[in-house]
A and B are shown apart, each in its own frame.
Chain A
Amino acid sequence: MEELIEKLKVQIIKQLNLEDVEPDEIDPNEMLFDANGELGLDSIDALELIVLLDKEYGIKIKNQDEGKKIFHSLNTMAEYILQHQN
């Protein structure tokens, strides 16, 4: 799980072009889509993350409500990947 989280951090930084953000600075429990949060991701980033999951892990997210839970934090993303990866 930890290894996957570290990998996800690097992939997210690259995919979302998070300039000046180092992997160590991302708290795995932090809300990804908190407007006042450190990362403060938005709806376009959500689309980028959906593409990332599909491209890198072969996981398709079709249900919007499910997406909200999966992309709550890095931890929830990693858990979902571990449960659903082929």
Chain B
Amino acid sequence: MKKNIYINGLSNISPQETFYQPMGATIAPPQGAFFTCQEPNYKEFIQKKLLRRMSRIVRMGLATAHKALDDANNPSLDAIISGTAWGCVKDTEKFLETIIENKEAYLTPTAFVQSTHNTVAGQIALLHHNNCYNMSYVQGNVSFESALIDAMLLFYDNKANNILVNGIDEQTEKLGILLERLECAKAGVRVMGEGAACFILSDQPTPNTYAKVAGVNMLYRPKDKTAVQQSIQHTLQEANIPLEAIDVVLTGNKTLAIEKELFPTADYSQYKTLCGEYPTSTAFAMAVGAQVLKGDLPTKTALGIHKKAPKHILIYNNHQDINHSIILLSKVSA
């Protein structure tokens, strides 16, 4: 049975200063070839002895999990669900480089152990002594959305009251070169980025609730623009929200043809100008969108949103006409 799903806690490490405070008016530009996250002091959250074995993405995942849980007043978790496309790519690189440098001998265990995609979700469970449902979705550019849908299904099946969901990917120089060669990142089209956003979703609101996740939808290689528009309309109909009620569209796209046809009066924000292009960038959009719905003015300003009190935000991302995703957020009082 469908249920309301609330974002009761969140944390966001991004190329902007979003971890210790809401995003400010000063926007940080990319550092060189890509956007790099502004990272917190991890020693505040992770023991020094554990920290030394963790790569950046694991640190980002654990710090955001810690802060999001704290933000939600530390509820007991029934599931930990991670979405990541690139996984622990730095440790994977390190492991592969060692294989080459040492001619397939002298392979050390740490980089290998930490290089799997489910390391972040596993480490969150270990640090929080939590042996609940633990899942990692490696689903390309809809990894975060896949994690979200899994969480929603657990709520609908009454299998969970509180779920941690994150969307997390790290960028490295070598990955950038490879993506360019594979034409996943075409030079000059979009600056690549990275980020880690973590959410505590619950089936009950609290005084700290940011927003409601009113709908999530994904499309794979839709045949034309109409198919995408129909899917967006279907997502809104299921949530009983008329098209004209959408106040803000957070779009991951450069051209806004579909968005402007469907929502001519909405405000638009191209969120990737703040976080860069990466497979789970919609998690960044969901974090800042939820903060806007909770009434955070600096984030609203940073996103260039003019509507006074937005009630419904649609996040739409189209990755190379292959993966399309839609996330619908609503203000709790709406």
Contact = CB atoms under 8 A, between A and B. Distances in A.
Interface of A: 15-20, 40, 44, 47-48, 51, 54-55
Contacts of B108: 15, 47-48, 51
B52 interface: yes
16 contacts: A16-B52, A17-B52, A17-B53, A17-B110, A19-B51, A20-B48, A44-B53, A47-B108, A47-B109, A48-B109, A51-B106, A51-B107, A51-B108, A54-B106, A55-B102, A55-B105
A69 to B, nearest CB: 22
A60 to B, nearest CB: 11
Interface string B51-67: 11100000000000000
A16 B105 CA distance: 18
B49 interface: yes
Contact of A44 (B48, B105, B110): B110
B227 interface: no
B113 interface: yes
A13 B109 CA distance: 16
Interface residues of B, number: 13
A19 B106 contact: no
B107 A18 contact: no
A47 B109 CA distance: 7
Contacts of B51: 19
Interface in B190-232: none
Nearest to A19: B52
Nearest to B109: A47
A48 B105 CA distance: 13
Interface string B38-57: 00000000001101110000
Contacts of B48: 19-20
By Cβ-Cβ distance, the 8 closest A-B pairs, closest first, are A55-B106, A17-B52, A19-B52, A47-B109, A51-B108, A51-B106, A48-B108, A40-B49
A16 B102 CA distance: 17
Contacts of B107: 51
B106 A18 contact: no
A44 B52 contact: no
Nearest to B55: A17
Residue among A16, A17, A54 having the largest count of chain B Cβ atoms under 10 Å = A17
Nearest to A17: B52
A48 B98 CA distance: 13
Interface in B96-128: 102, 105-110, 113
Contacts of B102: 55
Interface in B49-97: 49, 51-53
A54 B106 CA distance: 8
Nearest to B43: A20
A16 B109 CA distance: 11
A9 to B, nearest CB: 15
Contacts of B106: 51, 54-55
Contacts of A19: 48, 51-52
Residue among A16, A19, A54 having the largest count of chain B Cβ atoms under 10 Å = A19
B35 to A, nearest CB: 25
Contacts of A51: 106-108
A54 B108 CA distance: 11
A8 to B, nearest CB: 16
